[in-house]
Amino acid sequence: MKKVFSRPKSLKNVAFHYCAGCGHSITHRLICDAVDQLGIRGITIGVPPAGCAVLAYNYFDMDMLEAPHGRGCAVATGIKRTLPDRVVFSYQGDGDLAAIGTAETFHAANRGENITVIFINNAVYGMTGGQMAPTTLLGMTSTTSPPGRSAILDGHPIRMSEILAQLDGATYIERCAVNTPQNILRAGRAIRKAFQYQMDGVGFTMIEVLSQCPTNWKMTAAESCRWVDEVMAQTFPVGVIKDIGKGERHAD
C-alpha cells in the first residue's frame, strides 16, 4: 500500500499543547512540510514569538531562537545578516506583529530583509486570554472590548498584509487560511514559495494565516472554521496581495 500521509520529518513526534481545532498546529505542520520538501532543515533557523506559539521549539525539529514580544523581525534580521545563506523565518501572532512589533515588522519589510514571516492572524490575543488584538473585527467582543470593538474608541482592524505590500522591500505577501482542506493546501504552497523566494535572495516575504482560535472565539472547532470564511475573510480577504513575480518558476 502506498503511504500518502505522514508526519513531516521536521516536526517532532510530541503532542501539541494547542487547544483542539487551533490553527497554530496546522500551520506548524505546513511549515515543516515546506522545510522537508525543500530539504532545508539543516539550514533553517526559526524565531518563535511570545504568544500561544511560544513553545514552538518543542515541535519544530530545527534551530530556534525565541524573540522578546514583538521583536521577531529584528531578531530574524540579526540572524540573517550574520548568516546570509541560512533560511530564517519568524513566526508571529497578530498582537506580536501588528501591535507591539509593528515598527520592527514595518522596517524589516522596508529594508527588504531577506526573511520570511509567518503571520498568525486569529483576531485575538490568544495566550493572554482573549484580549482585543489589532486585527479584532469591529463589533467583536473581547475581554478588553467588552461591548464589542468600537471604531471610535478602539480603532479599526489593521490589514498588515496590505500595508506592508506598499513597501518596496516586500516581494511576496499572501493571505491564506487553514480552515478547509483546499485552503490548507494553498497555504502550504504559499509558505514553500516564500521560502523559495528567500533562498533566491529576493527580499521580504510574508504569509498571513487566518487561524482559528475556538477557545477565545467561544466556538466549536467546526464553527470557527466556518466563521473564518463567513465573517473573518470579509475583513481579511484571502489571496495574493503582492508578488513581484521574480519567483514565478516556483509558483504552483
Nearer to ligand TPP, 32 or 124 (CB): 124
- Is position 181 an interface residue for another protein (rule: CB under 8 A)? no
Name which of residues 114 to 133 contact Mg ion (CB under 5 A). 122, 126
- Is position 175 an interface residue for ligand SF4 (rule: CB under 6 A)? no
- Is position 94 an interface residue for ligand TPP (rule: CB under 6 A)? yes
CA distances from residue 74 to 36, 57, 104, 165, 186 in whole angstroms, order as listed: 26, 19, 6, 19, 28
Q: How far apart are CA 167 and CA 109, in angstroms?
A: 7
Q: What's at 22, amino acid-wise? A: C
From 16-24, 78-86, 141-149, 242-250, span contacting ligand SF4 (CB under 6 A): 16-24
Q: How far is the CB of 191 from Mg ion (least distance, A)?
A: 18
Provide the mask over 47-66, with x wherever binding to ligand SF4 is found by CB under 6 A and - wherever it is not.
-----x--------------
Q: How far is the CB of 119 from ligand TPP (least distance, A)?
A: 10
- Is position 95 an interface residue for ligand SF4 (rule: CB under 6 A)? no
- Is position 152 an interface residue for another protein (rule: CB under 8 A)? no
Contacted entry of another protein, Mg ion, ligand SF4, none for residue 146, CB cut-off 5 to 8 Å set by kind: another protein
